[in-house]
């Protein structure tokens, strides 16, 4: 149920492994008019400084953040503001939370799937870690541990998927 028909809202979601280019893409998407970016990494690093030391810490804190931000995202969408959600839509459970927001708000959506090979992601991750340009610096072993939980989106989930394989070659 959108109130501003001149600027219909949309929820943009991103799916891709660590260092696949999700944050780069979300910044590009958020440059559109009437669009805000909400970044999980930014919120987690500000709210839980030095509290996320392993995957279970991340899962707990991310869940708390999703619970707090879900209603806010819905209200933005109902107000006609588009939202780029820089939260990894990498599991069926995370995507179900996002689909609930879409269903309750009535907003349009796109799930941007960055299909980038693991080795390229790891190469980018090592570069990012050495530059210190990201609030979290997972190791290759942590990349592997987290990636074991990754599930690519399937049609039965009901998302409008935009797949990006070319970002692998472009370095995005």
Domains of the chain: 10-170 (3.40.50.300)
- List Cα–Cα distances, 29 to 22, 42, 57, 82, 130, in angstroms: 10, 17, 29, 10, 26
Note the residue count of the chain.
Answer: 172
> Could you list the pLDDT tens digit for every one of the 172 residues in the chain?
444 455 689 999 999 998 898 989 999 999 999 999 999 988 988 888 888 777 788 889 989 999 999 999 999 999 999 999 999 999 999 999 999 999 999 999 999 999 999 999 899 888 887 877 666 777 788 888 889 989 999 999 999 999 998 554 444 3
Residue-wise burial string across 9-40, b where 16 or more C-beta atoms lie within 10 A, e elsewhere: bbbbbbbbbbbbbbbbbbeebbeeeebebbbb
Cβ-contact 83, 29 below 8 angstroms: no
């Amino acid at each position: 149920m959108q109130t501003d028909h001149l600027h219909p809202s949309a929820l943009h979601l991103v799916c891709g492994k660590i260092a696949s280019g999700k944050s780069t893409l979300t910044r590009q998407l958020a440059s559109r008019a009437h669009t805000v970016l909400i970044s999980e990494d930014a919120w987690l690093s500000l709210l839980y400084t030095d509290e996320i030391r392993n995957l279970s810490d991340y899962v707990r804190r991310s869940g708390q953040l999703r619970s707090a931000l879900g209603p806010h995202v819905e209200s933005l969408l109902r107000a006609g503001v588009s939202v780029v959600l820089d939260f990894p839509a990498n599991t069926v459970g995370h995507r179900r939370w996002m689909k609930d927001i879409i269903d309750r708000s009535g907003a349009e959506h796109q799930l941007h799937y960055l299909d980038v090979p693991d080795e390229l992601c790891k190469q980018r991750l090592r570069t990012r870690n050495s530059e210190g340009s990201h609030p979290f610096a997972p190791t290759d072993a942590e990349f592997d541990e987290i990636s074991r939980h990754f599930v690519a989106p399937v049609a039965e989930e009901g998302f409008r998927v935009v797949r990006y394989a070319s970002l692998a070659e472009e370095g995005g």
